[in-house]
Amino acid sequence: MHIKAVRSLKRTVEITCDFNKAGIACSITHLPTFARSTGDVVREMFQYGRILAAIADNKLSSDITVKLRPFGLHIDNALAFESVRRLVAGAAEQSTFVWLDMELPETVDATIDFFKRIRHEYPNCGICLQAYLDRTDNDAAGLLRDRVPLRLVKGFYRKHDIAPWRDVSRNYERLMRLVLNESAYPAIATHDLELIATAKRLIRQFNVERAEFQFFYGLRNELARELARDGFRVRIFIPYGNVWRFLLDGFSTFDIWHQAQRALGLTPQL
């Protein structure tokens, strides 16, 4: 059991097709996740254009996930916003959904701002929030007043203000109940077996039709298939591209210890 990254879009399409046949949707993202120049932003737009074309041409049950830094957030805020807005607009033309993923704590305000401005024009997008940040209580409450699509994760980066990890799990469960009740499209993105069991019970108890479990490709594949057979909505997150550059770019910011435990399957609570 380990997280997998795929080298090519062609292989990503093949994997997505296989999951779709099992009744499982996918979410495709491109690696790496950091732009060094405006040229990198242009190349990123090109890659996501290829992804959208592949989804349409192959009639895939898949959305896409994007982060802001590959679109130049740290270089030029206006460039990043317009690039992401154009991408969401292009996705809307073919009825493809877009998740705005969350990154470092210092990018949270910009991500929420981008999301609100873009969603006002294009409703085919949702946002991710992280349970290991204290601020997420207020962020979730504000966003869910409009019942927005919301993906809840524990968190991927080293810099966070809720610890130890069992406290993150408790906070996730509390936020998960809110998201399931208030989001028009709640995405429960966790590999924590106890939280998954709780979510299954709540989804059935309150008949939350649009609730969806989301997993990294390679980490809970068999559980994903089991959940799909049991009638739950399931989506597999598939990153493709240059995984080595992704790891090098993120080494100083990723929560390496918890991600290693997660990748190796050493604990069911990650």
Q: Which of 151, 220, 235, 262 is the catalytic position?
A: 151
Q: Could you give phi then psi for residue 146, rounded to 5 degrees?
A: -100, 10
Residue 63: which residues within 8 A CB-CB, separation 6 or more?
A: 25, 26, 27, 28, 96, 97, 98, 99, 235
Tell me if residue 101 is catalytic: yes
Tell me if residue 167 is catalytic: no
Q: Pick from 221, 220, 222, 196: which is nearest to 212 by CA?
A: 196
Structural contact between residues 118 and 125, judged by C-beta atoms closer than 8 angstroms? yes
Q: Which of 63, 69, 101, 262 is the catalytic position?
A: 101
Whether the link from the prior residue into 123 is cis, omega within 30° of 0, is: no
How many Cβ atoms from other residues are within 10 Å of residue 160's Cβ? 19
The single residue listed with the structure tokens 């085919």 is 124
Measured CA distances, 198 to 54, 164, 172, 192 (Å) = 36, 21, 11, 10
Q: What residues are labeled active site?
A: 101, 151
